[in-house]
Structure 1
């Protein structure tokens, strides 16, 4: 059962799109499709030892080698709302914009080791948000002030083609569309994408500078000026900063923390996103 979406980012200068959150971990939607082994491929060239060897081809998009060698997935789905519970997390295909989305298949070896092949048309709306997330108290959440630590590690890489962003998606004071709900995103990779709202200011942490965007409907996005393929983020500090700026209400409940890719376009062809690390620490 999908929860109604809240308006979030749009692609380029196009219309605003949204992200639908899944049902609780206790009742995942699973796929009946069989597991499919993925064969790795490489974009690198190998030179001949001959003195007359041809020059190497120009660079291409990042390699599409499956995540951490995930060649025998435990879970595979092409369902619009297909998902899998693993290790206290939920891996979700989340093709929420079904009317405009092209085909997409997610294959997972673990919650922190999966990849998705997506083929999205060259248009300006968000189509899908395949992601892994942690539900807090089965999405009922817990007060922000109850935690001294809310941190996360990540490693994810987009295909380098099309229009997309790789991002955290945090839901506060509820999940999905609803009165008083806030959505806070942290973009770690951005290819031709534009957040909703207006750019207000900047935020700097751990040597990275983020442009901060917000609208008047509870949406806040921290957009890293430099690409981060892996690392860690202090989500407690980011939420606290946004509260201090009046962008999020004081002491919201923290209901869900996720990380994945918002695909707007893959240029009309197939493109791959890989995730090789994800964890959430709350205490």
Structure 2
């Protein structure tokens, strides 16, 4: 599914591509499923894996591999230019309103590239309401040169974590962004308290929560970088 939101990214001037570009080849070939198609998808039970290179132009090669919805990864070599190129992700459709969604939480563990030139991305949950009418983004980790849509509103403690809340609009739908005050690459995210806070504060209507996605918004990954989902679970 094409992502419609855009990040603000203050990127340095493009650098020459360097480094090996075949880092994913061994796990991809050994995996249960792999694809280099920009819209490659794979169904695993109730979950769908998306390669999802949705940028209309200016993107580089990207390959996805998976053994299951909870064990998969991406190798991406996107140029050091602004604008999100892709959002590879695992997706589950809930289909319940916020008031009746129950206790929805997720556990995950990812391995991501370290900092460096030509690298800009974020690890994020993307939770959609009423189809794609409302977008809740839950950022757990990101590089310093990317940021959310809209301005900072407040700090709030929800589901046992502190978040900086930003609100904005991408031209197609409102975007509600929660940025972890302490970034993390493994742990638990309680999704229900975040959705209920938005409704209780009058910032979002009592929407039906549809797709719950987790992956990486990749703006640039020059030279080829690996992103790996080591484990993932969603409790509904």
TM-score (norm 2): 0.85
Q: 38, 48, 54: which one pairs with 1:90?
A: 48
* Alignment match, 2:167: 214
Q: Is the 8 A contact 1:157 1:166 kept in 2?
A: no
Structure 2 vs 1, CA of residues 269 and 13 (structure 1 numbering), >3 Å: closer, same or farther? closer
Is residue 256 from structure 1 mapped to residue 233 from structure 2 by the alignment? Answer: no
Within 2, Cα distance between the matches of 1:130 and 1:160? 18
* Alignment match, 1:159: 113
Within 2, Cα distance between the matches of 1:36 and 1:87? 25
Is residue 199 from structure 1 mapped to residue 152 from structure 2 by the alignment? Answer: yes
Structure 2 vs 1, CA of residues 147 and 230 (structure 1 numbering), >3 Å: closer, same or farther? same
* Alignment match, 1:183: 135
Which structure 2 residue ranges, 5 or more long, are not aligned? 13-23
Task: Classify the secondary structure of the residue corresponding to 1:240.
Answer: helix
TM-score (norm 1): 0.72
Within 2, Cα distance between the matches of 1:11 and 1:123? 9
* Alignment match, 1:129: 87
Task: Classify the secondary structure of the residue corresponding to 1:215.
Answer: strand
Q: 181, 197, 217: which one pairs with 1:241?
A: 197
Q: Is the 8 A contact 2:31 2:65 kept in 1?
A: yes
Alignment of 1:97-108 (within 5 A): 97-108=55-66
Q: Deviations over 1:9-41 (max 9, x none)?
A: 332389xxxxxxxxxxxxxxxxxxxx9533xxx
The runs of at least 4 aligned residues of structure 1 exceeding 4 Å deviation read: none
Q: Is the 8 A contact 1:10 1:126 kept in 2?
A: no
Task: Classify the secondary structure of the residue corresponding to 1:257.
Answer: strand
* Alignment match, 2:18: none
* Alignment match, 1:7: 5
* Alignment match, 1:17: none
Q: Deviations over 1:53-79 (max 9, x none)?
A: xxxxxxxxxxxxxxxxx8720111010
Within 1, Cα distance between the matches of 2:41 and 2:4? 20
Answer 1 or 2: which has greater strand percent.
2
Aligned length, in residue pairs: 218
* Alignment match, 2:231: 277
Task: Classify the secondary structure of the residue corresponding to 1:37.
Answer: helix
- Specify which structure has the bigger relative contact order, considering alpha-carbon pairs within 8 angstroms and separated by 6 or more residues: 2
User: RMSD in angstroms over aligned alpha carbons?
Assistant: 2.1
Q: Deviations over 1:240-283 (max 9, x none)?
A: 1112222211x2101110100000111x211111101222222x
